Amino acid sequence: ALISLRQLLDYAAEHNFAVPAFNVSNMEQVQAIMQAAAACDSPVIMQGSAGANKYAGEIFLRHLIQAAVEQYPHIPVVMHRDHAPTPSICAQAIQSGFSSVMMDGSLLADMKTPASFEYNVRVTRTVVNMAHACGVSVEGEIGCLGALETLASADHSQLLTDPDEAVEFVKQTQIDALAVAIGTSHGAYKFSKPPTGEVLVINRLKTLQQRLPNTHFVMHGSSSVPQEWLKIINEYGGDIPETYGVPVAEIVAGIKYGVRKVNIDTDLRMASTGAIRRYIAEPANAADLDARKIYQAARDAMQALCQERYQAFGSAGHA
Ligand code: G3H
Ligand code: 13P
Ligand code: NA
Ligand code: ZN
């Protein structure tokens, strides 16, 4: 059944687990996520970005997720709009049936320029008023997602989510979940070496939880960038430079400090790209024209990855 983010994360907090929130833009991803959830009995969060809308179209995206809900009636599913840039885009998502939206007011509507605290509060509170009247949940964000690694250490504190601001933000907006900045960034190029506590500041979550013990935290940019998949991609014609993501063990540490939603997009891209490259390169498949086999290879690889995350984050067994 379709449920709101708040319903799911309140339950997750009671039971001390987190739910991976996978970005989706096609049917094979949706099916991989659901097959994995069914296999290990996990609730599901699927989220659509602006890029996903551009690729699939909002209508297809919505119906793909609704198909999942219909096919798996026993699995709770949250349909979430990722990084909406304006209140009106949130309104559109609510109108079309999403059960949760992220109003990203940490940036202006251009999604590039850092916004003031006052702007962020204003747009986020507008969305909360609208969404809560419809039974829809809201995720807000405070702080600046992005590569701590590349900046001087003096700048770190300005990028990380400030505890005082976070307290004030939650109080003034009444959001259901708070995305925090702790050194991660979107995409495959997060860290040039396996991250230390200097660049991936899990400790900040501990401080935040002390101040906001009842707030659900969201980690963005939480792909682990599996070295196995990186190797496979490069073995079969890819050219991805050395790079590291957020280790699963660090996410598990974050879950102890109130992380309840863990955003993952890049890892599914890597698994599907790697599986497709490998499948096509296999001489035994050279004469095959049935492209479904290619998609099937991608779907299987993504399913295995999803299942690992459900297990590691503790959502398995909680559908
Ligand atoms: O917000 C982060 C997601 O990875 C979005 O990626 O806009 O390419 O779909 P996308
Ligand atoms: P990754 O690029 O690490 O998968 O992060 C995705 C994300 O945060 C979507 O909002
Ligand atoms: Na943001
Ligand atoms: Zn994100």
**6-54 pLDDT, tens digit each:** 999 999 999 999 999 999 999 999 999 999 999 999 999 999 999 999 9
Of all ligands present, the nearest one to the C-alpha of 185 is: 2
pLDDT(155) > 70: no
Is 45 a known ligand-binding residue? Answer: no
| 32 vs 144: CA distance, rounded Å | 31
DSSP type of residue 198: T
Q: What does the domain layout of the chain look like in residue ranges?
A: 5-313
Averaged pLDDT for residues 51-60: 97
**Side-chain half-sphere of 212: how many Cα atoms within 13 Å?**
27
* Residue that the structure tokens 């939480």 belong to: 222
Residue 76 is predicted with a pLDDT of 98
Q: Ligand 1 within 6 A of 23 CB?
A: yes
Q: Ligand 2 within 6 A of 264 CB?
A: yes
Instruction: Please name the helix (run of DSSP H) or strand (run of DSSP E) that holds residue 248, with its range, or none.
Output: helix 248-255
**160-183 pLDDT, tens digit each:** 999 999 999 999 999 999 999 999
* Residue that the structure tokens 């990722």 belong to: 82
Q: What is the pTM of this model?
A: 0.97
Q: Ligand 2 within 6 A of 265 CB?
A: yes
Residue 243 is predicted with a pLDDT of 98
Determine how many CB atoms are found less than 10 A away from the CB of residue 194.
11
- The one-letter code for the residue type at 1 is A
Binning the chain into helix, strand and coil, the percentages to the nearest 5 are: 50, 15, 35
**88-146 pLDDT, tens digit each:** 999 999 999 999 999 999 999 998 888 999 999 999 999 999 999 999 999 999 987 77
- The one-letter code for the residue type at 97 is G
Q: Which CATH superfamily is domain 5-313 in?
A: Aldolase class I (3.20.20.70)
Mutation probe of ligand 1 site: the residue of 82, 141, 189 with most atoms within 8 A of C-beta = 82
Hey, which residues are catalytic here? 82
Q: In which band, very low, low, confident or very high, does the pLDDT at 291 lie, cut at 50, 70 and 90?
A: very high
Q: In which band, very low, low, confident or very high, does the pLDDT at 147 lie, cut at 50, 70 and 90?
A: low
Residue 157 is predicted with a pLDDT of 65
